Each structure stands twice: as structure tokens, then as C-alpha cells.
Amino acid sequence: MNFKTLAFLLLIPISVSAQIKHGLRDTQGRHVIPRGFVVNTNDHKGEVFFNSDDYFRMVRLGANTQVIRLELGKLSNFPGGKLETTYLMKLDTLVKLGKNAGLKTVFKMTVYGVDKFVWEEFWQNKNNEYQTYIDAWKVIWTRYANSNSVLGYDIVNEPRKLSMDISYSKLTKQYLIPLYQNIIDESQKINPDKKILVQSIFMNKGEGIDNNQYAEITAPINRKNLVFAPHIYQDKIDFIKPVMDRFDKESDMLNAPILIGEWGFPTFATTDTLIEGRLGQLKYRELYIRTAEVFDQMGVGTIKAWFLGNRSMQNFLPGGPSTWAIFSDSTDAGTVERKYITDVIARPYPQTIAGDIQNFLFNHATRSLNLKIKSDNNKGASTIFVGANRHYPDGFSVMINDDLVLYYNPLKNVGLEIYKCPENVSPTDFIWDVHSQKLTILKWPQDKANLQVKIVPGIRNFE
């Protein structure tokens, strides 16, 4: 493949020209796309432990964010619950491991670990359940109020209606949103600058709309620093775009960017050996690729469940035992990737951009990332996750507009080399880190300018 051929290796055009509305901004004002994993503190077999090597693997899978799943029973006085100091120390370790690896942390509260949690009773709040719940959160808010690596809090995970004689709309307006407002107000007394992630009601089995189990939020919350964090576990490929379009509409109404809090239809026990068929690996890959395309075209952040091994499975779907674990070996952290899943998760994307991301998309067929930005060098450096170890084992090239071309040859392993570079641009501003699989841009070649960045496979005929 020569350079002329390479230059025409373009992606499907994206019609959006303005800045994407999703993604977040860091303290330097850079445009950030959060991506990463749900990190469990336990599974059905007991506690789960992670070390620095596990976090390094997350980074090489493209993670810049972790969502730690909290257990209400270890933080509260709900029946069977008790605040456990050792649990708090474990959370400290996970936050530190994430920080050392360059990951931001979001905490998500689940209702696990108590003797029972009855949603119908919780909504009625007859025994001051709301305050007990908020008190559990206050432990976390106070502990991490001054931690810059803690991004925010997903305050109620998959709230339910169950047997209540009320519509989802009324439950949302009369109970869920006032509860959110109450929790947010209390949180912002302690850490007003943290992000607050909100979800919608998880609908009862069989009551989903367009194969979507999450009820629509139809009224605003009217609080600052909101992030809309819906889950999507879609197994029907034609419903992915309509479901995300609905989430987009809710995002507008909430005035909150989208960060997909969990995604990815679970893997069945048979999938690891079944190549074809409805539940086979090829179908899973096709489903995940289409989901990833919709995510990228919208510019949303995404958190994949779970960064776990396969030492336990659940059995609630018609296809038999299943799991969200991305590793197939029977250990807690896991090391053996389900590559038909992980290769899609670990696709190239812009992590942190000094400026505004206008659009981006990774084309799995051509293995090409197309990124359009408006640069702003005053905001610092930018990072792009490339994932060359799995997507570009034969090397890759970086092209910015038509006048800058750099390439990486893994056989030489000498960093980025120059094919074409304007005199006023320093190629040393572009740093390839083979360990983290990231490309760092210290300074864009043009400031306050619209730039088209492409990362494409191949280095042949450049030398």
C-alpha cells in the first residue's frame, strides 16, 4: 500500500460539523471522552481484588475511567448493613490504583449487601429510608471531596417499580426526581464540583419499549453538574440507534451529557465455543461493532461491564447461564480475553482533546480512526488511544490535514518517524507510548483551527 492509496483510506462521512454535545470537560477545559469499565468489589463467589497490573491492562484496553460498584450493605444502617472500615480502605486502594494508572473514578451505589431492599417500601420513605440512603453516600462524599481523581457519583443504580400500582412516568416525577434533587442538594453541600450521574427506572420484565428496559425520563431535574448515565443491554441490532436517539432526547431535556453507565449484552456460556448462530461470537461481534459505531457517532462516553473473570454466571436469560465478564478464565480479575468483545471495546478514540471534538468514528472494516477537532493549544496536551497492539500490529500512520504524516514501524520500535512535516511544526510534539498504547500531542500544528486527524493501518512504501 503506497501513500496515495493510504490517503484515500477514508471513513464513512459524518454529517455533524459542530462540536459534539456529549463528552465532558476537565479542569483545563479539554474535551474528554470517558471510557472504561465497571469495577466490582465482589461477585457471587465473594470478594474481588485488583492490583496495578490489572489497572495497566485496563489502560491498554483504552480505559481512562473506572466505575466502582459500591455495596450499600457495607456503608449503611439498612437491615443487615454496617459501615465497614476495611471496605473503605479497599475503596481507597481502588481509587489510588486508578489514579496511578491515569484513570478517573466514579462511584456507583448498588443495593447489594443488605438483608433485603424493597423498592416499594423505599419509595414510600415511611422509615426515613431516604436519609439512611443519603447517610451512606455522605461517607463517600466526605471521604473523597478533595480527591481530584474522583470524578463523581452515580447516585441510584437501576431504580425499580416492581409491584407498585403507579405508572413509570408518575413514579419518575413524583418519587425519583424529587429523590434525585434531595440527594444532589446534600452532595453539593460537601463536594459541589463533582459530577452527579443519574439513571431512569428499570422497567419490570416484559414491559420494555423497543426492547429497552429503561423508562423514559420526561421531566427535568434542574441541578448543575448532571450527567445522564443510562444503561443499554441491547441484543437486537435494529433497536440500538432508536434507543440511543431516545436517550439523546432525554439528555437534551436534562441538559446533561450522556455517559453510558453500562453496556454490552451478556455473554452466554455457549458463546465462547459457538462461532456462528444467533448467540455465536460472530453475531456478538457484529452487535458490539454496531453499538460502538452509534456510540462514536454520538460522541458519548461508555463504561463496559465488567472487568472480571468468569468464576460465576447468572441464569436469568432464556439462552442459559450468562455473564458480563470480559475474561473467560475462572479467576476474579481474569486475564484470558473474550477477544470478540474486547477488540471492539479497545477501539481507537480521542481520550482528551485540547479544543473541541467535532466528530469521530472508528471504522472496524478499514481499521481507521477519523477525528475532526477545533484545536486550542492553550488548554494543554491531547491524548488519543490507538490500541496498536491489537488493531495495528503491522504499524500505523498518523495524518493531520494534508501536510503532516508520521508513522510507527513496530519492527523498528524507534517511536514515530516522519514521512512529511511542515517546517514550522515540531514532530517531537507527537509522542507514541507503546506501553499505554496512547498517542500524546503536546501541541497541535495549527491553533484555533479545524483539523482532520486520521490514524490508519500500514507503513509500507514510506521509507
Q: What percent of the chain has pLDDT over 90?
A: 89
Tell the residue number behind the cell numbers 479542569, with chain if given: 27
Q: Is 355 exposed, middle or buried (0-12, 13-18, 19+ CB in 10 A)?
A: buried
What span, in angstroms and rounded, lies between the C-alpha atoms of 264 and 288? 7
How confident is the model over 239-290, as pLDDT tens digits?
999 999 999 999 999 999 999 999 999 999 999 999 988 779 999 999 999 9
Q: CA angle at residue 240 from 30 to 69, to 5 degrees?
A: 60
Residue type, 64: N
Q: What is the pLDDT of residues 329-349, one digit of tens each?
A: 999 999 999 999 999 999 999
* pLDDT tens per residue, range 291-302: 999 999 999 999
Query: What is the percent of the chain where pLDDT is above 70?
Result: 95
Q: Distance between CA 411 and CA 389 in Å, rounded?
A: 12
pLDDT tens digits, 376-399: 999 999 999 999 999 999 999 999
Q: Is the pLDDT of residue 462 over 60?
A: no
Q: Are 298 and 20 in contact (CB under 8 A)?
A: yes
Displacement of CA 71 from its chain's centroid (Å): 20
pLDDT of residue 209: 86
Residue 19 and residue 89 in contact, taking contact as beta carbons nearer than 8 Å: no
Q: What is the DSSP letter of 404?
A: E
C-alpha cell at 168: 413509570
pLDDT tens, 416-459?
999 999 999 999 999 999 999 999 999 999 999 999 999 999 98
Full set of structural domains in the chain with CATH = 3-13+354-457 (2.60.40.1180), 33-349 (3.20.20.80)
pLDDT confidence bin for 2, thresholds 50/70/90 = very low
Describe the crossing of helices 85-101 and 52-60 by its angle, rounded to 10 degrees.
40
Instruction: Evaluate whether 344 touches 267 at the Cβ level (below 8 Å).
Output: no
Mean per-residue pLDDT over the chain, rounded: 93
Residue 402 CB neighbours (<10 A): 9
Are residues 378 and 444 in contact, defined by beta-carbon separation less than 8 angstroms? Answer: no
Per-residue pLDDT, 388: 98
Q: Is 2 helix (H, G, I), strand (E, B) or coil?
A: coil
Task: Look at residues 306, 319, 371, 310 and name the one whose alpha carbon lies nearest to residue 345.
Answer: 306
- pLDDT at residue 12, as a whole number: 36
Residue 327 has a CB neighbour count (10 Å cut-off) of: 23
Per-residue pLDDT band at 461 (split at 50, 70, 90) = low
- Please report the pLDDT score of residue 1 as a whole number: 42
- The 10s digit of each residue's pLDDT in 5-31 is 333 333 333 334 467 999 999 999 999
- Residue 110 pLDDT exceeds 60: yes
Cell numbers for 74, please give them: 457495607
What's the rounded Cα separation, in Å, for the pair 269 and 266?
10
Q: What is the pTM of this model?
A: 0.94
From residue 116, how far is each of 79, 121, 183 by CA, in Å? 7, 11, 22
- Grade residue 221 by pLDDT with cuts at 50, 70 and 90: very high
Q: pLDDT tens-digit profile of 56-88? A: 999 999 999 999 999 999 999 999 999 999 999
